[in-house]
Structure 1
């Protein structure tokens, strides 16, 4: 394509190339974002609760790309009922044609018990080694300290290695449940190449932790940890509703190398909305001084999707402060300081969501992919199905 035909597009690509050469310098963080006008291309159901694979409920979707351009859609398949403490299996479907067709459902991990001990989970990619990982928790409701397990695939999710227990490498006493969503591989300094997974805890150690690996996923350790805390100095924790309790979380990396971490605001501290923290040291710490609440990103509360690409921050979640309904895409050109627009994806019941984007071909960055819990009425359950939406940017 001749640059003179589309000068604005050409200049945008030159600026992005310049930013890549700078590789995370402060000047790179000030590059203007591309402008987007999202439109839904397709929205298809890929799992139906009570139908697919004799599974009572498909919940907690999470998703990732692979270096070769395959989309992996995963979910917690709840065998007998949809409850959190029921028997679960990790389910997987793969698409090699950008969501047009999908492989039959594969079941990766059976929790081994009739009562729930498995929590799914987070997926992430090491592009250098062409390795895709799935991290999940085991013995969630049966053990004082649940185990964090990690499994990987080097052939785009066709086959997987045996899960291995990384719990002994993590901080003792901190319960780490990898949140539904995806982990990231840092592209900029500090700690370029580091793998970062956001996890949340339950029980007395309820909080948020970042799990870090600097050797491609071979070894892990606990970085930042933020415990639940009073909403403000006047609340001493006697009333739990006055606590800031962190839940499912999602990190993204910004062009200056900082990590922006979104968390579920479980007890609705300050507002019925999402909370954010920022790390400037590669996930070693998440200063509470960076905590902010986003009044625009209202929530019921629930898990939500977050992704940063080419200067644009994308968010997916229910557009409601009280009910899991109205799945909506929002986008920001200033790292979430303000939100430039919104696109309704589904007007009826909708819950958890995850987002991804293919990385191999520049043309692939014109599409965003959303996996979300879907219901078929405004007042009914949001867990009737899991749907996959393809959105042109």
Structure 2
């Protein structure tokens, strides 16, 4: 993974100049922003790759990777969570949802099952000593995929359950869900279906000049579940691995007519930047009927100092 530009903030055009404010003491109608994660606090050197959902009860769940050794993608990494019951103004204690125990757990992709209200979390794992480049070259095992469930508003989650054989093809090596939350379809013939945008890399062809090197054969795909996350299968798969356009980290949204829109980063492509403070990964979440929240990486000297939550009033835009 490489740092993303500020343009990947889903609501960048609406943001006022960023500030790094502490948790607000006022009620949700008065607070503007809060900081659920600060690098160096809570036992982690860095927090990365935020993802957020709002539960059926209105609780905000802010997931992130808790990286014990620093901001890098390799090492002892847990998936952590903080809950907010006041619209993102204040946050409960940090809890570990999936412990790396020396290995890497990452790319949290949460979604709320619209039929039951259960929070479903899909994530990935690999040995803590393996880098993305080593996995892509076949020098380390391919990433595993897991699912967890919470039926008590995000307070507790089931242990990670391996679903790799259901959603990873044998030729795939690198694998990443998200980044950001997954999608639950709310209309159309597949209403209730859970859709997890993801990406993967493939082994280069045997006659390819890239064999034995970190070949950039990326592609996007989606995981689907029609039973609340109990069973999974592959849906859309980008099989055009031409080494030129490399569909990588992906996100998805349902359009008003029921279709699903996929947006993927072109790994290695050109990136644009805007002015303002550094920022990187972000996620967008509804807070209430008039408010959305942006959970995003930012800082003063660099983008990995904090994960901030910014509330935006969008009532006038509807």
TM-score (norm 2): 0.77
- Give secondary structure in 2 for the equivalent of 1:168: helix
Q: Which of 219, 222, 234 is equivalent to 2:231?
A: 219
Q: Which runs of 4+ in 1 moved over 6 A?
A: none
Corresponding residue number in structure 2 for 1:392: 313
Q: In structure 2, which of residues 55, 63, 76 is the aligned counterpart of residue 66 of structure 1?
A: 55
Stretches of structure 2 lacking an aligned partner (at least 5 in a row): 1-12, 17-30, 204-216
CA RMSD in angstroms comes to: 2.0
Q: Is the 8 A contact 1:228 1:246 kept in 2?
A: no
How far did 1:228 drift?
Answer: 5.3
Question: How far is 1:208 from its partner?
Answer: 0.7
**Unaligned stretches of 5+ residues in structure 1:** 1-36, 231-236, 238-242, 273-299, 301-320, 327-346, 359-363
1:167-194 deviations in Å (ceiling 9; x for gaps):
1222422354211211111112232221
Higher helix share: 1
1:374 aligned residue: 298
Measure, in 1, the Cα distance between the counterparts of 2:104 and 2:79.
12
CA-to-partner distance for each residue in 1:327-365, whole Å, 9 max, x for gaps? xxxxxxxxxxxxxxxxxxxx211111001104xxxxx22
Q: Contact 1:62 / 1:73 at 8 angstroms: preserved in 2?
A: yes
1:111-159 per-position Cα deviation (integer Å, ceiling 9, x unaligned): 122xx53222201010221100111111263752221000110111111
Which residue does the alignment assign to 1:317?
none
Higher relative contact order (CA 8 A, sep 6+): 2
Number of residue pairs aligned between Structure 1 and Structure 2: 263
Does residue 355 of the first structure (1) align with residue 284 of the second (2)? Answer: yes
Cα distance in 2 for residues equivalent to 1:200 and 1:135: 13
CA distance in 2 between counterparts of 1:353 and 1:370 reads 7
Which residue number corresponds to residue 258 of structure 1? 259
Larger Rg: 1
**Aligned to 1:47, what secondary structure does the other structure show?**
strand
* 1:94 has 2:83 as partner: yes
Q: Where does residue 131 of structure 1 map in the other structure? A: 118
Q: Tell me the secondary structure at the aligned position of residue 289 of structure 2.
A: helix
Contact 2:182 2:194 in 1 (8 A): yes
State the distance in 1 between where 2:167 and 2:107 align.
18
Provide the C-alpha distance between the structure 2 equivalents of 1:244 and 1:250, rounded to a whole number of angstroms: 17
Deviation at 1:77, TM superposition (A): 0.7
Q: Distance in 2 between matches of 1:77 and 1:203?
A: 28
The aligned counterpart of 2:95 is: 106
Q: Does 1:160 align with 2:157?
A: yes
